């Protein structure tokens, strides 16, 4: 990795002056973000990160003085051409020709692995991670929260795989519970076998809406309870109908996820853990953790003082069913029995190092309780379970109104992008305009979603998401397509030997400096699992490329200059494409 060799060289010189091991210094040396206003150095050492003297009231002043003194002791060499002191920092400028040569060679050599081979990851052990995401409820709306869970979970899984970890992607379906009693009765009244086969999600939702109108009717309630009781008792006919609901729904989900570029290694669900939930209740009872309330509800006391001020419900009061909802509702607050069974089963089955659950932040308490109970049960690995939460999205409506199905969103994105593309002259030349529109639309959705902190709520805007200029997914796709056509126009073969003295213009240096930072950005995202660092990086890269495209033309330049610039643009496209794929975006070649 280009940045690594430079960091090591700087750390080596610093270690002699500071009398510290070079490895202690490497993480304190970071690439400086590119500035639009001025030329900046390439790396800086933050004195605050290596100084022990934090007690002084004049800390900032001391650090500035230390930076000045340290700068005076350091010397330029074949790698570093300039050293200067900043506010509490020492700044290093790399020899410009060496910068260009090293960065371009490294990007083109490593390809899609550029950045992940960095020594920043050398001490990170390779692990096995289970990531649970998407998790829609059969027969209910695939609401926007499920869409966020799908794209966030996919990003986390992609990032972990890119960094060399083993990942098991699990889709944990809401496929059990009293609502299936109601759905079963509804299907007996309003169901249609052909529609169930051809459009299961739509049809089951329509049936559920219809039967829900009669849900308060005593007779309907009785029939629903009876259907669900048969389901729990594994009545052959009832179970067969439920299995059709589940199997046809999964088939359709797989087809829709394919449009998103998302896949799962395992389709699990609440139905898998009904019997294992019994075992969990027995374990809780044996360990003296299960308590009964006056109403007969099974709870676990999670309060510090053991005064029942913080409870997790693990069994309903009537004791007739072990159905525990994953949706934390007021009626069954924090009921985690099925999730306990699922977590224990997964750990036994996969022997993973970490388990990550991706859901909206309203379920934070639920997962806090889940991990607490696992710890109380003696499972130390609960410490390695993580809930990645995200905020709510407002304003996601299609032209037909409120979003009910994921496919509605994908169709809407595609049709809006198709409309925009129809206005441009290049669209007519595309082999498959609909497929391109889908990829561009998905990029628009993902970038708008990933720009802020995942835990923040945000207002979705079709107009903002689909702008072709500015910080949007459409702009990323446009930049990639533009770079691709530049390569096709001037020769597709990879350039290996270029005259780097032709890449000394400020706009070329800015791109090289930015490419230098990629490993740090990946490292940051790997630490907090936030995609916004990568999004911000790719948008900046695209803006730098847009400027350089104008100021550093390939056409009309001398062969040496044209080759060097083409190589620079090739490296930028390679990193742009790799970053986009991590986010779950398929880069387009034309649009």
Encode 40-71 in three state secondary structure: CCCEEEEHHHCCCCCCCCCHHHHHHHHHHHHH
- pLDDT at 323 (0 to 100): 35
* CA–CA separation, 196 and 162 (whole Å): 39
* CA–CA separation, 322 and 278 (whole Å): 8
* CA–CA separation, 139 and 208 (whole Å): 7
CB within 8 Å of 240: residues ≥ 6 apart: none
Domain ranges of the chain: 2-94, 128-283+335-393, 446-583
What Rg do the C-alpha atoms of the chain give, in angstroms?
Answer: 28
- pLDDT at 273 (0 to 100): 87
Count the neighbouring beta carbons within 10 Å of the beta carbon of residue 110.
Answer: 18
Rounded to a whole number of angstroms, the distance between the first and last alpha carbons of the chain is 32
Indicate whether 384 pLDDT > 70.
yes
425 versus 511: the higher-pLDDT residue is 511
**CATH number of the domain at 446-583, out of 1.20.1050.140, 1.10.730.10, 2.40.50.140, 3.30.200.210?**
1.10.730.10
Q: What dotted CATH number matches 2-94?
A: 3.30.1360.70
217 versus 543: the higher-pLDDT residue is 543
| 538, 579 Cβ separation under 8 angstroms | yes
pLDDT band at 62 (very low <50, low <70, confident <90, very high): confident
CATH class of the 128-283+335-393 domain in this structure: alpha beta
CB within 8 Å of 437: residues ≥ 6 apart: 413, 414, 415, 417, 418, 421
* CA–CA separation, 112 and 575 (whole Å): 7
- Closest-CA residue to 6 (of 453, 513, 558, 549): 513
Task: Give tens-digit pLDDT for 506-526.
Answer: 999 999 999 999 999 999 999
Encoding tokens for residue 90?
């020492």
- pLDDT at 54 (0 to 100): 46
- pLDDT at 479 (0 to 100): 97
The helix (run of H) or strand (run of E) holding residue 435 is: helix 433-450
Residue of 101, 146, 439, 543 marked catalytic: 146
Annotated catalytic residue 140: yes
425 versus 26: the higher-pLDDT residue is 26
Annotated catalytic residue 282: no
In the chain, what percentage of residues exceed pLDDT 70? 92
Alpha-helix runs per DSSP H in 451-530: 462-465, 473-489, 506-516, 518-528
Task: Give tens-digit pLDDT for 187-237.
Answer: 999 999 999 999 998 899 999 989 988 888 899 999 999 999 899 888 999
Mean pLDDT of 27-33: 93
- pLDDT at 333 (0 to 100): 27
Task: Give tens-digit pLDDT for 389-402.
Answer: 999 888 777 666 66
- Closest-CA residue to 501 (of 108, 95, 105, 111): 95
Annotated catalytic residue 366: no
Indicate whether 460 pLDDT > 60.
yes
Residue with the two structure tokens 């995942």? 454
Indicate the average pLDDT of the chain.
Answer: 89
- pLDDT at 326 (0 to 100): 30
- pLDDT at 138 (0 to 100): 87
Strand-pair partners of 30: 44
232 versus 109: the higher-pLDDT residue is 109
Task: Give tens-digit pLDDT for 241-291.
Answer: 999 999 999 998 999 899 999 999 999 998 898 888 888 888 998 999 988
* CA–CA separation, 520 and 31 (whole Å): 8
- pLDDT at 293 (0 to 100): 79
Indicate whether 427 pLDDT > 70.
no
- pLDDT at 36 (0 to 100): 76
Please return the burial class of 415, using the count of CB atoms within 10 Å of its CB with bins 0-12, 13-18 and 19+.
middle
Among 51-55, 141-145, 290-294, 365-369, the range with the most confident prediction by mean pLDDT is: 365-369
Count the neighbouring beta carbons within 10 Å of the beta carbon of residue 507.
Answer: 16
Indicate whether 341 pLDDT > 90.
yes
- pLDDT at 475 (0 to 100): 97
Mean pLDDT of 38-42: 86
Residue of 101, 141, 143, 543 marked catalytic: 143
- pLDDT at 257 (0 to 100): 93
- pLDDT at 332 (0 to 100): 34
In the chain, what percentage of residues exceed pLDDT 90? 66
DSSP-derived secondary structure letter, 202: H
Mean pLDDT of 119-142: 89
Task: Give tens-digit pLDDT for 295-332.
Answer: 778 889 998 888 878 888 887 765 443 333 332 222 23
Indicate whether 98 pLDDT > 90.
yes
pLDDT band at 549 (very low <50, low <70, confident <90, very high): very high
Task: Give tens-digit pLDDT for 478-488.
Answer: 999 999 999 99
- pLDDT at 495 (0 to 100): 67
């Amino acid at each position: 990795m280009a940045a690594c060799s430079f960091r090591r060289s700087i750390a080596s010189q610093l270690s002699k002056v500071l009398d510290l091991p070079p490895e202690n210094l490497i993480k304190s040396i970071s690439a400086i973000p590119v500035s639009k206003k001025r030329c900046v150095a390439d790396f800086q050492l933050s004195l605050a990160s290596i100084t022990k003297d934090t007690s002084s009231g004049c800390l900032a002043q001391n650090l500035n003085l230390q930076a000045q003194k340290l700068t005076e002791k350091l010397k330029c060499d074949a790698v570093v051409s300039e050293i200067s002191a900043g506010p509490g920092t020492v700044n290093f400028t790399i020899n410009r020709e060496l910068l260009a040569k090293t960065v371009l060679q490294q990007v083109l050599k490593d390809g899609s692995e550029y950045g992940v081979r960095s020594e920043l990851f050398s001490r990170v052990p390779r692990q096995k991670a289970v990531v649970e995401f998407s998790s829609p409820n059969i027969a209910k709306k695939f609401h926007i929260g499920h869409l966020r869970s799908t794209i966030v979970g996919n990003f986390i899984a992609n990032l972990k795989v890119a960094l060399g970890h083993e990942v098991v992607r699990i889709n944990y379906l809401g496929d059990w519970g009293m609502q299936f009693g109601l759905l079963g009765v509804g299907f007996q009244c309003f169901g249609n076998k052909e529609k169930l086969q051809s459009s299961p999600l739509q049809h089951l939702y329509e049936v559920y809406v219809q039967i829900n109108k009669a849900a308060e009717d005593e007779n309907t309630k009785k029939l629903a309870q009876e259907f669900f009781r048969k389901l729990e008792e594994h009545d052959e006919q009832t179970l067969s109908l439920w299995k059709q609901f589940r199997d046809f729904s999964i088939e359709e989900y797989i087809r829709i996820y394919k449009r998103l570029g998302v896949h799962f290694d395992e389709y699990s669900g609440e139905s898998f853990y009904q019997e294992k939930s019994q075992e969990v209740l027995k374990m809780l009872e044996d360990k003296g953790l299960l308590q009964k309330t006056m109403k007969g509800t099974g709870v676990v006391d999670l309060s510090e003082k053991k005064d029942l001020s913080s409870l997790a419900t693990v069994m309903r009061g009537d004791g007739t069913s072990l159905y525990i909802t994953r949706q934390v509702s007021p009626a069954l607050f924090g009921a985690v029995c099925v999730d306990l069974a699922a977590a224990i089963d997964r750990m036994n089955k996969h022997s993973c190092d970490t388990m990550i659950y991706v859901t909206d932040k309203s379920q934070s308490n639920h997962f806090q309780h889940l991990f607490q109970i696992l710890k109380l049960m003696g499972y130390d690995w609960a410490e390695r379970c993580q809930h990645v939460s995200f905020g709510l999205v407002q304003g996601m409506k299609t032209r037909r109104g409120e979003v009910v199905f994921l496919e509605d969103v994908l169709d809407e994105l595609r049709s809006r992008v198709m409309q925009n593309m129809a206005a441009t002259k290049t669209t007519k030349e595309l082999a498959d305009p609909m497929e391109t529109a889908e990829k561009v639309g998905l990029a628009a959705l993902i970038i708008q979603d990933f720009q802020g902190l995942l835990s923040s709520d945000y207002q979705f805007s079709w107009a903002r998401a689909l702008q072709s200029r500015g910080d949007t997914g459409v702009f990323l796709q446009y930049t990639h397509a533009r770079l691709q056509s530049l390569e096709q126009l001037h020769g597709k073969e990879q350039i290996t030997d270029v005259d780097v003295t032709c890449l000394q213009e400020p706009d070329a240096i800015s791109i090289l400096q930015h490419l230098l930072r990629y490993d740090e950005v990946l490292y940051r995202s790997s630490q907090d699992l936030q995609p916004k660092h990568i999004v911000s990086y790719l948008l900046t890269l695209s803006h730098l490329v847009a400027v350089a495209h104008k100021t550093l033309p390939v056409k009309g330049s001398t062969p040496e200059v044209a080759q060097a610039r083409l190589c620079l643009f090739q490296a930028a496209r390679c990193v742009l494409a790799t970053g986009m794929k991590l986010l779950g975006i398929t880069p387009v070649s034309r649009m």
